[in-house]
Structure 1
Amino acid sequence: MRIAVLRESADGEKRVAATPETVKKFIGLGAEVAVEAGAGDGAAIDDQAYADAGARVGDRAATLAGADIVLGVQAPDPATLSGATQGAWVAAAMNPFGERARIDGYAAAGLEALAMEFMPRITRAQSMDILSSQSNLSGYKAVLDAASEYGRAFPMMMTAAGTVSAARVFVMGVGVAGLQAIATARRLGAQVSATDVRSATKEQIQSLGAKPIFVENVAGIEGEGSGGYAGEMSPEYQKAQAELVSAHIAKQDIVITTALIPGRAAPRLVSDAQLASMRPGSVVVDLAVEQGGNVEGAVAGEVVVRHGVKIVGHRNVPSRLAADASALFARNLFNFLSAFWDKEAGRPILPDGDEIGDAIRLTRGGEVVNQRLMQ
Structure 2
Amino acid sequence: MKIAIPAETAPGESRVAAIPETVKKFTALGGEVAVERGAGLSAGVSDEDYAAAGASVGERAAVLAGAELVLTVSGMEPGELGAVAPGALLVGILDPFRRREAINAYGAAGIEALAMEWMPRITRAQSMDVLSSQSNLAGYKAVIDGAAAYGRAFPMMMTAAGTVSPARVFVMGVGVAGLQAIATARRLGAQVSATDVRSATREQIQSLGAKAVFVEGVAGIEGEGQGGYAGETSDEYKKAQAELVSSHLAKQDIVITTALIPGKPAPRLISDAQLSSMRPGSVVVDLAADAGGNVEGCVAGETVERHGVKIVGATNLARSLAADASALYSRNLFNFLSAFWNKEQGRPVLADEDEIVKAVRLTRGGQVVSERLA
Q: TM-score, normalised by structure 1?
A: 0.98
1:205-246: CA deviations, max 9, x gaps? Answer: 000000000001114657853100001101110010000000
> Which residue number corresponds to residue 278 of structure 1?
278
> Which residue number corresponds to residue 312 of structure 1?
312
> Which residue number corresponds to residue 56 of structure 2?
56
CA distance in 2, matches of 1:53, 1:15: 18
CA distance in 2, matches of 1:118, 1:174: 19
CA distance in 1, matches of 2:312, 2:130: 23
> Which residue number corresponds to residue 3 of structure 2?
3
CA contact (8 A) 2:197 2:220 kept: no
1:101-137: CA deviations, max 9, x gaps? Answer: 0000000100000000000000010000000000000
Amino acid at match of 1:132: S
Correspondence 1:314-353 to 2 at 5 A: 314-353=314-353
CA distance in 1, matches of 2:6, 2:216: 50
User: 1:121 aligns to what SS in structure 2?
Assistant: coil
CA contact (8 A) 2:82 2:109 kept: no
Amino acid at match of 1:62: A
- Say if 2:101 is the partner of 1:78: no
CA distance in 1, matches of 2:281, 2:258: 21
Amino acid at match of 1:31: G
Amino acid at match of 2:14: K
CA contact (8 A) 2:205 2:211 kept: yes
User: 2:97 aligns to what SS in structure 1?
Assistant: coil
User: 1:193 aligns to what SS in structure 2?
Assistant: strand
CA distance in 2, matches of 1:357, 1:287: 29
CA distance in 2, matches of 1:44, 1:341: 29
> Which residue number corresponds to residue 185 of structure 2?
185
User: 1:81 aligns to what SS in structure 2?
Assistant: helix
CA distance in 2, matches of 1:26, 1:314: 34
> Which residue number corresponds to residue 269 of structure 1?
269
CA distance in 1, matches of 2:19, 2:165: 43
User: 1:113 aligns to what SS in structure 2?
Assistant: strand
Amino acid at match of 2:47: D
Following superposition, the deviation at residue 314 of structure 1 comes to 2.8
> Which residue number corresponds to residue 151 of structure 1?
151
> Which residue number corresponds to residue 360 of structure 1?
360
Distance 1:204 1:130, change over 3 A: same
Following superposition, the deviation at residue 78 of structure 1 comes to 1.3
- Say if 2:44 is the partner of 1:44: yes
- Say if 2:17 is the partner of 1:22: no
Following superposition, the deviation at residue 82 of structure 1 comes to 2.1
CA contact (8 A) 1:224 1:231 kept: no
Q: CA RMSD in A?
A: 0.9
Amino acid at match of 1:107: G
Distance 1:223 1:308, change over 3 A: farther
Q: TM-score, normalised by structure 2?
A: 0.99
CA contact (8 A) 2:199 2:221 kept: no
1:315-337: CA deviations, max 9, x gaps? Answer: 22100000000000000000000
- Say if 2:196 is the partner of 1:196: yes
> Which residue number corresponds to residue 226 of structure 2?
226
CA contact (8 A) 1:15 1:319 kept: yes
State the aligned residue count: 374
CA distance in 2, matches of 1:218, 1:254: 27
Following superposition, the deviation at residue 88 of structure 1 comes to 0.3
Amino acid at match of 1:319: R
CA contact (8 A) 1:147 1:154 kept: yes
CA distance in 2, matches of 1:84, 1:127: 28
> Which residue number corresponds to residue 242 of structure 1?
242
Amino acid at match of 1:225: G
CA distance in 2, matches of 1:129, 1:162: 47
User: Which shifted more, 106-115 or 215-224?
Assistant: 215-224
CA contact (8 A) 2:201 2:224 kept: no
Following superposition, the deviation at residue 282 of structure 1 comes to 0.2
- State the percentage of identical aligned residues: 73
1:302-360: CA deviations, max 9, x gaps? Answer: 11111100111132210000000000000000000001001111111000100000000
CA distance in 1, matches of 2:151, 2:36: 43
> Which residue number corresponds to residue 207 of structure 1?
207
1:61-95: CA deviations, max 9, x gaps? Answer: 10011101000000111111221101000000010
User: 2:83 aligns to what SS in structure 1?
Assistant: coil
CA contact (8 A) 1:223 1:233 kept: no
CA contact (8 A) 1:221 1:237 kept: no
CA distance in 2, matches of 1:69, 1:131: 21
Following superposition, the deviation at residue 44 of structure 1 comes to 1.1
> Which residue number corresponds to residue 132 of structure 1?
132
